[in-house]
Amino acid sequence: MSEEIYPLTFTPALRHYMWGGRRLETLYGRALPPGIVAESWEISGHSTAATPSDSGYWAGQPLPHILAELGERLVGTRAGWALSRGRFPLLVKLLDAHHDLSVQVHPDDAYALEHEGGELGKTEMWYVLHADPGTELILGVQPGTTREAFRKALESGQLADVLRRIPIAAGDAIAVPAGTVHALLAGAVVTEIQQNSDATYRVYDWGRVDAYGKPRPLHVEKALNVIDYEAAPDVVKPRLLAAQAGLTHSELVRNRYFVVERVALAPGAVFGGYCDGGTLEIWGCMAGQVSIRWAGKPVTLPAVRYVLLPAVLGEFQVAAEASSVCLRIYLPEDA
């Protein structure tokens, strides 16, 4: 194995939006700078906040540079669509909703490429790490809502009447396809797996103003163009893949951009995998602590941390050092 191929960990890029808080520090022991921290971009190749590797051969180098050097060896043969654009395919975040996020929607690829200067669309999913009692989120619109009804509700101050609210709890997974109106609401801490895009159309922002007393921009017409008024997603029902002594393996979300699985391990349990060149794998420890064993020095992964396994890494194991829950993320064969 060459020295540039190894499990990659990164220094997160922090985003300080007005709705954030301090729970990445209080719940997970993250060392944060003073003030509000809304998002931690854990693995990012996006130009606005690329994450640098924090160890080994690539220490200090941002993910786009590593991608440019390794190409298919990093992301795999299934990522041809992303490599053709010189883009890392995915973006992984943590979000701390201390206040309600704006009601928003993301475009699909076709609309974004036409209207956002070549940016891609944004399909995403959330895995709930923490939810205060009674926490809800907004996901889709009420049955029968049309574009005209949505606009009328927005203009009359009655938008809440056409939005779907669903309760959430820690351990829930929620798929958010492009075109789905949504908003994380106060009390939730989630990890987000998404396309490598920041294309967002804000519909409603609760009347808030920024530090200069100005409201944040809205994108109502674009939003009305891309909303899927028939979408009615809900909390995902995991699909069991395997269950054996000490290990439960389930699929949470599968779409054309990524697959997310949940692997629950008892202390001492081991999940064996192999990166054969087809796709990268991203592993995140959501609870407990695991070690990533491979041909070199093991990598310890506490909660809540991620590691990127290059597509050509070869054989690896995920070994639970305590009762643990992990997310496994990779590109589907038809990506």
CA distance 122 to 75: 19
Of 246, 284, 293, residue with least CA distance to 265: 246
CA distance 139 to 11: 31
CA distance 128 to 132: 11
CA distance 330 to 123: 15
Instruction: Return the residue matching tokens 């854990």.
Output: 42
Of 95, 98, 99, 96, residue with least CA distance to 207: 99
First-to-last C-alpha distance (Å) of the chain? 27
CA distance 188 to 190: 6
Catalytic residue (choose from 23, 30, 87, 202):
202
Buried b (16+ CB within 10 A) or exposed e, 77-102: ebbeebbeeebbbbbbbbbbbbbbbb
Do the beta carbons of residue 324 and residue 307 sit within 8 Å? no
- Active site annotation includes 202: yes
Of 213, 166, 157, residue with least CA distance to 185: 166
3 state SS of 230: coil
E strand or H helix at 15: strand 13-15
CA distance 41 to 25: 15
- Write down the number of H helices and E strands in the chain: 7, 21
Reading the block at residue 184, the tokens are 């994380």
Hey, what amino acid is at 280? L
For the annotated catalytic residues, the residue numbers are 202
